[in-house]
């Protein structure tokens, strides 16, 4: 924000030869705290309440009312700022010089407005409050953003929150839960062959296929890159294996072309693990081990980790 955005129109201005009595009456009638003194629109001085009080004190001491003009009482050479000066800079200037008023001039040096110290402080406080509010709102939006922008499934943060909740619930009610780690086979070769934009389209299609094939109670998240995590609450090993196999077949049946794959179509490998009292981090490690074995076994397959 610049001073030009903040300044107010000039309410009262006079020439130096105007009588002080006229100025006092003007300040009273217009309810303004100052009167600007100009010659041909160039600032020459300023009359504020402070000057009026000083003159009044002199009158009381002398017990007479001198015929004074504005030019005899005004503060000469008032501090002026151009209208493109930033608010913060003007505020520093006003505070360092203990000024209550700043005159605003254009490029030619002619008076175009006035800004008070109170105006500047209020505006600055509003800016700070607005900035704080925006930062808070951005933080809240970030916290509330639980969806991966590309795949339109849960993101990593949402996944961890849900995993912690599911683990606690499983321990509390003695019910098992399962995790499936899904990875696109030879996805780097796919990107190299078709380009990253087409790779993104493939990931979006994959997410839609998984959402259509999973159960209503399951939750799906982007684990990282082309890896996807499927969280299955209250499930047995056999049920988890069935769900994973249904997803694998659905992806294979979609016949998404992949020339660099031995299957000539996009396929996935899945590692599954199930536990009850197990921390979710351990289940992910076990599912990751099962996924590694599925890759080693030729890909396009599902392996259930069998706990010892």
CATH number at residue 117: 3.10.580.10
pLDDT at residue 234 above 80? yes
pLDDT for position 4:
62
Kindly state whether residues 86 and 174 are assigned to the same domain. no
In a domain, 48, yes or no: yes
pLDDT at residue 154 above 60? yes
pLDDT at residue 130 above 80? no
pLDDT at residue 65 above 60? no
In a domain, 141, yes or no: no
In a domain, 138, yes or no: no
Average pLDDT over residues 59-67: 58
pLDDT for position 127:
64
In a domain, 129, yes or no: no
Kindly state whether residues 8 and 100 are assigned to the same domain. yes
Kindly state whether residues 100 and 25 are assigned to the same domain. yes
Which of 226, 227, 245, 252 is catalytic? The answer is 226
In the sheet that 42-48 helps form, which strands lie side by side, from edge to edge? Answer: 13-14, 34-39, 42-48, 75-76
Kindly state whether residues 177 and 228 are assigned to the same domain. yes
Kindly state whether residues 203 and 117 are assigned to the same domain. no
In this prediction, residue 194 has a pLDDT band, given cuts at 50, 70 and 90, of: very high
CB distance 45 to 74 below 8 Å: yes
In a domain, 36, yes or no: yes
pLDDT for position 98:
75
Kindly state whether residues 219 and 119 are assigned to the same domain. no
CA distance 244 to 231: 11
Two tokens at 24?
């006092």
Average pLDDT over residues 41-59: 76
pLDDT at residue 102 above 80? no
Average pLDDT over residues 38-66: 72
* Residue, of 102 and 301, whose pLDDT is higher: 301
pLDDT for position 124:
60
pLDDT at residue 47 above 60? yes
CA distance 301 to 288: 14
State the DSSP H helix or E strand holding residue 94, giving kind and residue range, or none if neither.
helix 87-96
pLDDT for position 17:
87
Q: Give the range among 62-76, 95-109, 134-148, 255-269 with minimum mean pLDDT.
A: 134-148
Domain that holds residue 56: 3-124
Average pLDDT over residues 156-175: 86
Kindly state whether residues 117 and 224 are assigned to the same domain. no
Burial environment of residue 17 by CB neighbours within 10 A (0 to 12, 13 to 18, 19 or more): exposed
Q: Give the range among 70-84, 124-138, 183-197 with minimum mean pLDDT.
A: 124-138
In a domain, 45, yes or no: yes
CA distance 278 to 308: 13
Boundary-marking domain end, from 70, 100, 124: 124
Kindly state whether residues 282 and 168 are assigned to the same domain. yes
In a domain, 211, yes or no: yes
CATH label of the domain that carries residue 286: 3.30.70.270
Q: Which residues contact 44 (CB under 8 A, 6 or more apart)?
A: 16, 37, 38, 74, 76, 77
Kindly state whether residues 204 and 109 are assigned to the same domain. no
Kindly state whether residues 160 and 120 are assigned to the same domain. no
In a domain, 144, yes or no: no
Domain count, the chain: 2
pLDDT for position 181:
97
Kindly state whether residues 214 and 281 are assigned to the same domain. yes
pLDDT for position 93:
66
Kindly state whether residues 96 and 235 are assigned to the same domain. no
Average pLDDT over the chain, rounded to whole? 83
Average pLDDT over residues 113-123: 69
pTM reported for the whole predicted model: 0.56
Average pLDDT over residues 285-302: 94
pLDDT for position 283:
95
226 is catalytic: yes
Boundary-marking domain end, from 124, 147, 182: 124
Boundary-marking domain end, from 65, 100, 124: 124
pLDDT at residue 148 above 60? yes
């Amino acid at each position: 924000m610049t001073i030009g955005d903040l300044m107010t129109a000039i309410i009262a201005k006079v020439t130096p030869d105007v009588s002080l009595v006229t100025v006092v009456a003007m300040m009273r009638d217009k309810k303004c705290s100052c009167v600007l003194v100009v010659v041909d629109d160039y600032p020459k001085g300023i009359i504020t309440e402070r000057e009026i009080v000083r003159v009044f004190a002199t009158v009381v001491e002398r017990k007479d009312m001198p015929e004074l003009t504005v030019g005899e009482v005004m503060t000469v050479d008032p501090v002026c700022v151009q209208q493109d000066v930033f608010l913060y800079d003007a505020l520093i200037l006003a505070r360092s010089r203990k000024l209550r008023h700043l005159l605003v001039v254009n490029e030619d040096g002619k008076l175009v407005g006035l800004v008070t110290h109170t105006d500047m402080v209020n505006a600055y406080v509003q800016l700070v409050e607005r900035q704080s509010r925006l930062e808070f709102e951005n933080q809240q939006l970030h916290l509330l953003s639980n969806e991966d922008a590309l795949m339109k499934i849960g993101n990593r943060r949402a996944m961890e929150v849900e995993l912690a909740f599911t683990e606690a619930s499983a321990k509390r009610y003695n019910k098992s839960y399962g995790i499936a780690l899904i990875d696109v086979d030879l996805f780097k070769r796919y990107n190299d062959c078709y380009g990253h934009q087409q790779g993104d389209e493939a990931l979006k299609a994959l997410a839609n296929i998984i959402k259509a094939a999973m159960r209503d109670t399951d939750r799906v998240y982007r684990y990282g890159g082309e890896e996807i995590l499927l969280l299955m609450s209250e499930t047995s090993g056999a049920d988890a294996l069935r769900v994973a196999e249904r997803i694998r077949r659905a992806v294979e049946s979609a016949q998404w072309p992949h020339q660099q794959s031995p299957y000539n179509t996009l396929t996935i490998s899945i590692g599954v693990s199930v536990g009850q009292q197990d921390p979710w981090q351990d289940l992910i490690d076990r599912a990751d081990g099962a996924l590694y074995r599925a890759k080693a076994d030729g890909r396009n397959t599902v392996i259930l980790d069998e706990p010892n």
